[in-house]
A and B are shown apart, each in its own frame.
Chain A
Amino acid sequence: MQIYLPIADLPVNIFLVLAMGLTIGFISGMFGIGGGFLMTPLLIFIGISPAVAVASVTSHIAASTFTGAIHYWRRRAVDLSLALMLLAGGIVGTAAGVWLFTMLRAVDQLDLAIGLSYVTLLTTVGALMINESVQAELRARRGQPATLRRPGSHNWVHGLPMKMRFKRSKIYVSVIPVCGIGFLIGFIGAVLGIGGGFLLVPMLIYFLRVPTATVIGTSMVMTLITMSSATIMHAATNHLVDAVLALILMVGGVIGAQFGAHTGQRMRAERLRLLLGLLVFAVGLRFAYDLVVIPDDLYSIRLVRGQ
């Protein structure tokens, strides 16, 4: 059954989009991520322009992270004060991201910027995750206990001024790196149409030593608010959010996420991280391939002005 998307200006098969929502939702539920880095490329692949895809996916991520956030909130696994500090940076980052997005679109380099950023980000993060989980697996084979790096392992981040106590996470750190991470995630999210969960969680663990008990819930709250505000800002400045597309994706996404979460709970954490790392790395390679291989068509058209 075909349905016409009013902003993307093309008809799509409603079941295809629903299936995409379900699949990505499943993956996002399984790994506890938003899944934007998979959804945006998929939408571009079925013919939706990168700009509309990026802008619409933000609202899809808002929906799926809200489900997750409620879940973690009920389990008291959200550090609200930490989330709010991250957000202070996040909102500024999102606004800067939307601004850069508009600029890049004007000079015809949005597609390139999205492609290059995906390659750099995904291959690096993917490689780090694979490396880390393989190490953990090897340690487990040799019968060594997993290294607990948390206690006493202070790094340069902990030497910064303006310290603040985050009670639920039981950490005492400077607000500068917290706001900085927030800014970075908000910025990347708005430009690339990704929630940034797969970046935020490792950053919170390695830089701020946030315990695993609160890290995912806090990251979800942060992602939820940056993505909701990115939706509003994209709609207000670029007029590119396709609500019909977003609605179909959301419905598929939240259903898929429930089943994904169920599957994810039955797998070992290292195995799960290795799988996610491989997935992230593969998507990064796919983007690299597109940039290097001769495109099917060297020419492309972009609308400058309507009537």
Chain B
Amino acid sequence: MRRLAFAIATIAAAAVNPAQAERLVVSLSNHRVAVTSNFVGTELVLFGTVEPDAPRAALRSAYDLVTTVSGPTVTLRTRRKERVLGIWVNVDSREFIRVPSYLGVLSNRPIDQIADPTVARRLQLGLNHIILTQRIGADFADTVSDDPFRVNFIKLEKEAEQYREVSNGVTFLTPTVFRVSIPLPANVPTGTYTVDVKLFGGGRMIARTNTALEVIKSGFEQYVFEASQNHGLLYGLVTAMMALTIGWFATVVFRRD
């Protein structure tokens, strides 16, 4: 039943709007980013073209593109300090539930020029419109975009280079061929990232596609990290032994008596 409804809707859409028959073809320069001991951040490149869906379908002269890269979700607590008895103390906090640990919104021009606020909110375009669920008392909800906790949360994430909105992150090489540069900072979280590419024409979304990438700790870093998480006691013993060995070694090397 649902499939039938979908088919009818598709046919209806095609009939009403035959010109909207674009298709997005994208390719990521690298699907796997390895964080090694000399990792200082990197930049991934996504290439793509706008293709006509049917052979004779006409293409528009100008497109807009918004790419949203979201890292693995985390739950973060944002705390606010207040002066209590002359010193600054954390007094209030809000939990942001399962929000992206990394969020990059890349577009060819500012989001508010690409789509109006209603469309932007519906499609979660940009940092102002992305849904960031907070635990407020017993409720789970997103707040208005000028809520102080939300504003400061985004500000801190931007300062930590984890959240960013780049209005010149997409370059159209020809009217239909584009390049997106995805910056990944040195402290990028590990895990699976989704890359959501949305194509706009005349203020409306006309095509959309997804891809994914993976950030992994590799080699020695991963080994150390996993050991510390999964075998804490053993890891501690080894670290303590290392400390003693180095301490002992120093007395041998610098022995004066």
Contacts and interface: CB of A to CB of B under 8 A. Distances in A.
A63 B251 CA distance: 11
9 shortest A-B CB distances, which residue pairs?
Answer: A235-B236, A66-B247, A254-B250, A232-B236, A299-B152, A63-B243, A62-B243, A236-B232, A236-B233
Interface of A: 1-4, 6-7, 9-11, 59-60, 62-67, 69-71, 74, 108-109, 111-112, 116, 228-229, 231-237, 239, 241, 243-244, 246-247, 250-251, 254-255, 257-258, 291-292, 294-295, 297-307
Contacts of A298: 80-82, 88, 152
Contact of B236 (A74, A231, A305): A231
20 contacts: A4-B37, A4-B186, A6-B225, A60-B243, A62-B247, A63-B244, A63-B247, A70-B247, A112-B87, A112-B89, A112-B90, A231-B236, A231-B243, A232-B239, A243-B228, A295-B88, A299-B81, A300-B90, A301-B76, A307-B72
Contact of A243 (B79, B235, B250): B235
A235 B246 contact: no
A241 B229 CA distance: 10
Given A67-B248, A112-B87, A250-B247, 13 more contacts: A1-B38, A2-B38, A62-B243, A231-B240, A232-B237, A235-B239, A251-B246, A297-B156, A298-B81, A299-B79, A299-B155, A304-B76, A304-B77
Interface residues of B, number: 61
B93 interface: yes
Contact of B38 (A3, A62, A67, A257): A3
B75 interface: yes
B78 A301 contact: yes
Contacts of B79: 108, 299-302
B202 interface: no
Contacts of B232: 235-237, 239
B224 interface: yes
B77 A234 contact: no
A255 B248 CA distance: 12
Best-buried of A60, A109, A295, A297 by chain B (most CB within 10 Å): A297
Given A6-B224, A294-B88, A108 B77 contact: yes
Interface in B34-80: 35-40, 72-80
A59 B240 contact: yes
Interface of B: 35-40, 72-82, 86-90, 93, 95, 149, 152-153, 155-157, 160, 186-187, 191, 217, 220-222, 224-225, 228-229, 232-233, 235-240, 242-244, 246-251, 254, 257
Contact of A66 (B88, B243, B257): B243
Best-buried of B149, B228, B239 by chain A (most CB within 10 Å): B239
B75 A305 contact: yes
Contacts of B225: 6-7
Contacts of A239: 228-229, 232
A300 B81 contact: yes
Contacts of B76: 301-304
A306 B36 contact: no
Contact of B86 (A7, A62, A228, A292): A292
B239 A304 contact: no
A161 to B, nearest CB: 36
Contact of A244 (B40, B224, B238): B224
B247 A64 contact: yes
Contacts of A232: 233, 236-237, 239-240
A17 B95 CA distance: 34
Contact of A307 (B74, B88, B90, B235): B74
Best-buried of B86, B217, B228 by chain A (most CB within 10 Å): B228
Given A231-B240, A295-B88, A298-B80, A67 B36 contact: no
B250 A255 contact: yes
B80 A299 contact: yes
Contacts of A255: 250
Contacts of A250: 242-243, 246-247
A258 B250 contact: yes
B178 to A, nearest CB: 31
B236 A300 contact: no
Contacts of B160: 301
A295 B81 contact: yes
B236 A304 contact: no
A127 B228 CA distance: 40
Contacts of B242: 59, 63, 243, 246-247, 250
Contacts of A7: 224-225, 228
A106 to B, nearest CB: 11
Contacts of B235: 235, 241, 243
Given A4-B39, A59-B239, A108-B79, A235 B247 contact: no
B157 A301 contact: yes
Given A4-B35, A292-B87, A301-B78, A67 B228 contact: no
B177 to A, nearest CB: 35
